[in-house]
């Protein structure tokens, strides 16, 4: 609330919102547009640019920051940690005003690509007993408890934080390429049980799944994940007071499945992911709001007519942040100028529901 009150124009326009249906999370005020840190080279120039961008974001009304340990070989986490420490020391923000999200699952390098990646992983993870190669999927993905705990410790150090606000299993559907559904559920249950221990220890606050395909594909797809089943596994791990409270998936003009595809079911009733998440008490964060730059030009004229901005990029962001049930729309912002440009839609209220939904009628 303190952070929100420092930006009255954004607050009046509805830029800050709460996940009112999510137990425990409802006290968090999150921005309609959040900062992502996926893109960019693993070099010092990109490091400097990210520090500038994150500083600008925190000073300008963006208080949800998203990263992952494997992004730019841990550099994105370290850039975020460095900037957060400086802005807190400079009294730009307080720690409890910022929502820091990170992920793990993929094998991660340290700063740079090593000359022999296989040798690096053997010495860094396999020989110390952190990683059992039998737990790998696709040769590069692991959600075994020992590995996740190791990665979270590294993330806490990179970020300079005692507690990570949201920790995601990173693209857990990757596991389904190599293991059965039964084995997948067993691995998820083990991971959730371990994460609940870390919640009790104060190392993470909430956990969830950051996905690419899992919640966007038909139920018949091998990499489909059923949200109700996942919530049941969280309950099995620790009971109704579990901390599985977030999912992340792409949501943009080109990838609207979370709103239009009835691929989820709650109590045997089919519905889209956004509706299912609301019923199950899970907050939804959208990624790839600009589809990695593909939506900043060439949009049909009727999109501009419905959403009201002159630039395609602003219309694409307005579309994403206006989705009913979406807490935050993430945008990769690796430069200060990106922050200034991408915050413009947040100065106006979200799109009228009838105009927003008419985009789907036009597509149909």
Predicted confidence at residue 362, as pLDDT, reads 54
pTM given for the model: 0.96
- Which of 265, 288, 289 is closest to 277 using CA atoms? 265
Hey, is 244 helix, strand or coil? strand
Q: Which two tokens stand for residue 357?
A: 């939904």
Hey, is 113 helix, strand or coil? coil
Q: Whole-angstrom Cα distance, residue 254 to residue 252?
A: 5
Q: Whole-angstrom Cα distance, residue 183 to residue 135?
A: 11
Query: Any idea what the Cα angle at residue 57 is, between residues 25 and 214, rounded to 5°?
Result: 50
Tell me: domain 2-363, CATH 3.30.465.10, correct? Answer: no
Q: Which two tokens stand for residue 24?
A: 């425990």
- pLDDT digit string, tens, across residues 107-154: 999 999 999 999 999 999 999 999 999 999 999 999 999 999 999 999
| Kind plus residue range of the DSSP H or E element containing 168 | strand 164-170
The length of the chain is 364
- pLDDT digit string, tens, across residues 304-357: 999 999 999 999 999 999 999 999 999 999 999 999 999 999 999 999 999 999
Note the helical H segments in the chain.
2-5, 8-13, 44-60, 75-89, 117-121, 145-159, 181-200, 227-238, 257-260, 273-280, 301-307, 312-321, 336-342, 353-363
Q: Whole-angstrom Cα distance, residue 278 to residue 270?
A: 13
- Residues (pLDDT < 50) of the chain are 364
């Amino acid at each position: 609330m303190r952070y929100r009150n420092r930006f009255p124009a954004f607050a009046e326009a509805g830029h800050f919102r709460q996940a009112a249906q999510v137990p425990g999370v409802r006290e968090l005020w999150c921005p309609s547009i959040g900062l992502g840190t996926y893109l960019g080279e693993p070099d010092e120039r990109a490091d400097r640019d990210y520090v500038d961008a994150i500083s600008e974001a925190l000073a300008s009304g963006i208080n949800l920051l998203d990263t992952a340990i494997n992004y730019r070989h841990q550099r994105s986490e370290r850039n975020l940690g460095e900037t957060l420490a400086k802005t807190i020391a400079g009294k730009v923000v307080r720690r409890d005003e910022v929502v820091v999200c990170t992920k793990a699952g993929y094998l991660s390098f340290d700063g740079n690509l090593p000359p022999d990646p296989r040798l690096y992983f053997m010495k860094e993870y396999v020989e110390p007993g952190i990683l059992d190669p039998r737990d790998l999927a696709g040769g590069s993905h692991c959600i075994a408890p020992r590995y996740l705990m190791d990665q979270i410790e590294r993330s806490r150090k990179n970020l300079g934080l005692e507690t990570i606000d949201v920790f995601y299993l990173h693209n857990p559907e990757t596991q389904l390429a190599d293991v059965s559904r039964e084995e997948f559920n067993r691995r998820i249950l083990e991971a959730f049980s371990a994460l609940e221990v870390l919640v009790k220890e104060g190392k993470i606050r909430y956990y969830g799944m950051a996905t690419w395909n899992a919640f966007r594909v038909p139920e018949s797809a091998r990499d489909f994940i059923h949200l109700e089943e996942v919530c049941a596994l969280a309950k099995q791990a620790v009971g109704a007071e579990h901390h599985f409270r977030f999912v992340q998936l792409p949501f943009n003009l080109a990838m609207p499945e979370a709103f239009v595809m009835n691929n989820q079911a709650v109590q045997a009733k089919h519905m889209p992911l956004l509706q299912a998440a609301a019923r199950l008490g899970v907050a939804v964060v959208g990624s790839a709001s600009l589809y990695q730059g593909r939506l900043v030009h060439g949009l049909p004229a009727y999109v501009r007519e419905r959403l009201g901005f002159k630039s395609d990029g602003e219309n694409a962001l307005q579309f994403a942040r206006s989705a009913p049930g979406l807490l935050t729309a993430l945008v990769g912002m690796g430069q200060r100028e990106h922050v200034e440009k991408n915050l413009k839609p947040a100065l106006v209220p979200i799109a009228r529901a009838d105009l927003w939904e008419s985009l789907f009628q036009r597509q149909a």
